[in-house]
Amino acid sequence: MKIYFKYLKILLKSQMEYRTSFILLSTGQFFVPFLIFISIFLLFQRFPNIGGWSLYEVALCYSIIHIAFSLSECFARGFDSFSSTVIKGDFDRILVRPLSTIIQVLGSKFEFTRVGRFTQSVIVLIFSLSNLSITWEIYKIMTLILMVISGVFIFVGIYMIGATLSFWTIEGLEVINIFTDGGREISQYPLNIYQDWIKKFFTYVIPFGTVNYLPLMYLLDKTNRSIFMLAPLLGILFIIPCIFIWNFGVKHYKSTGS
């Protein structure tokens, strides 16, 4: 763990060397999702609600998933862009070091420019919470924090599966974007607006529903079942099979030899 923070510090310093590029990219990371939120805001000027959820409730949904996404992209970028490591044969170097492969790949890359996306999501979160009347108690605050953590774990899990696939395909697979970018876009809105098969897929197979939809039903008093506050914990479990799949892939790794 100590080594992980050392990696973090070194890479932060190296990215700060290119300051203009850093500022530009962060600005972009701020405005690209921000315009999406503006669009949602404008749609709500014409339509009163979506699937029974108001603008502020959707904003809460949106901010949670975007915070989780920006954190996972910043800290697990190594898995997200893993195919280039395989192509260059750099993974051989990782294998000979006496340290877990997961920590090393996690530490190989950080995208600090995601601070832009993170900032805009926090702004949306504040905008939403200041307009909603939630009676805050310790359980609800804990649920909110767990939701973000669970989101990060699920995104990282998907990156790991994508990275594992590139052991075989060498090249990165664009299809995995359906689950990362697609999952993010899907869970910007509450899951109940979608067709049943999408709802089930993103609850039981890739559990994005446990990140915001189910626990928000509890937070916003849309259900009596307080068991929903535990849903994010189930989402966190998603990482376990992903770690197994990753380890399986590492065992079958054949170097590209370049």
Partner 1 sequence: MKAYYSLFKMTLIKGLQYRISALAGVSTQFFFGFMFIMVYQAFYLSNPATQPISLRELILIVWLQQAFLVFIMLWFRDSEIINLITTGNIAYELCRPTDIYNFWFAKLIAQRLSRAILRCFPILLIAALLPFPYKFTLPDHLTTIILFFLTLILGLIIIVSISMLIYISMFYTMSPTGSLLMFSVLGEFFAGLTIPIPLMPDFLRNLTYMLPFRYAADLPFRIYAGNIKHDEAIISIGIQLFWILLLLTVGKLWLKKALNRIVIQGG
Report how far residue 244's alpha carbon sits from residue 160's, in angstroms, rounded to the nearest whole number: 10
234: which 2 tokens?
Answer: 């189930």
**Cβ closest to partner 1, residue 167 vs residue 201:** 201
Report how far residue 54's alpha carbon sits from residue 125's, in angstroms, rounded to the nearest whole number: 14
Encoded amino acid at 63, one letter:
S
Identified binder of partner 1 from the candidate list 3, 43, 95, 145, rule CB under 8 A? 43
Of 4-12, 20-28, 212-220, 221-229, the window that binds partner 1 (rule: CB under 8 A) is 20-28
Provide, rounded to whole angstroms, the least separation between the CB of residue 125 and partner 1.
Answer: 20
Q: With contacts defined by CB under 8 A, how many residues of the chain interact with partner 1?
A: 33
Please report whether residue 7 would count as binding partner 1 according to CB under 8 A.
no
Binding to partner 1 (CB under 8 A) within 65-124 occurs at: none
Identified binder of partner 1 from the candidate list 7, 127, 194, 253, rule CB under 8 A? 194
Report how far residue 255's alpha carbon sits from residue 258's, in angstroms, rounded to the nearest whole number: 8
Please report whether residue 39 would count as binding partner 1 according to CB under 8 A.
yes
| Residue ranges in the chain assigned as alpha helix (H) | 2-16, 19-46, 55-75, 77-80, 82-88, 91-96, 101-108, 115-131, 138-169, 177-186, 196-200, 213-219, 231-236, 239-251
Identified binder of partner 1 from the candidate list 132, 134, 173, 245, rule CB under 8 A? 173
Please report whether residue 205 would count as binding partner 1 according to CB under 8 A.
no
Contact 51, 189 (CB under 8 A): yes
Residue ranges binding partner 1 (CB under 8 A)? 21, 24-25, 27-28, 31-32, 35-36, 38-39, 42-43, 45-51, 173-175, 177-178, 182, 185-186, 189, 193-195, 198
